[in-house]
Amino acid sequence: MNITAENENLQFLAEGGQMGELIRALDWSTTALGSPATWPQSLRFAVRIMLDCPFGIYIAWGEEYIQLYNDGYRPILGATKHPQALGIGARQTFAEIWTTIGPMFEGVMQGIPVGFPDFICKPTTNPIPTYPIPSSVGFQNCGSSSPSSDILQSWIRLSTSFSQISGSI
C-alpha cells in the first residue's frame, strides 16, 4: 500500500486497519473533500473515532455525500461496493436504490436522525441508526454485528462533550 506523503503525518488518520491504510493511500486532492490537511476539525474528529472503533461506521460528507468507512463497515458494503465506495459520492455507490435512500440522506443532513428498528441487513442483525454530526455537513451511519446502542450512545456523548469542550468542532 503506497501511503501518500501528505497523509502519512496526519495523526487523525493513524492506525485504522485496512481502511486506515486505504484512506491514507488515497489521493484525496482528486475528490470533492480535497486534502485531509484542509478537512474541518469536525470531520477529522469523526474520522478519528471511525478508525478507532471496532464497530462498523460510515461517514457521508458534504453535498456529494463523499464516503469514508472503517473495517467494521466493509462487510456491510460487500464485495460489489468496496473498495470503490471510498472517496466517491453515495449517489454513485447506491445509484440503484438512490430514489429510496436519497431522501433519507437529505433528512439526516437537515439534522433528522434516521433509524430502522425492524431493519435486518446481513451481516448485521440490529438496527442501523444514522446520526448527523453536530456543527457539520456530514453524518455517520453505525452498523454492528452485536448490540451496540449503549456503545453508540457513548460515542455520541463523547463527540458532543468534545465539541463543547474544544469549541472548534
Nine-digit cell at 54? 471496532
Question: Where does residue 148 rank: exposed (0-12), middle (13-18), buried (19+ CB within 10 A)?
Answer: buried
Q: What is the pLDDT of residues 82-111, one digit of tens each?
A: 999 999 999 999 999 999 889 989 988 888
Look-up: residue for cell 463523499?
66
- Over residues 10-65, the pLDDT tens digits come to 888 988 999 999 999 999 999 999 999 999 999 999 999 999 999 899 999 999 99
Residue, of 21 and 146, whose pLDDT is higher: 21
For 53, 130, 165, the CA distances from 40, given in Å and listed in that order, are 20, 20, 17
Compute the half-sphere exposure of residue 112: CA atoms within 13 Å on the CB side of its CA: 7
Threshold 0.95, pTM exceeds: no
Contact of 33 with 61, CB cutoff 8 Å:
yes
Q: Can you say whether the dihedral through the CA atoms of 118, 55, 69, 140 is positive or negative?
A: positive
pLDDT at 38: 94
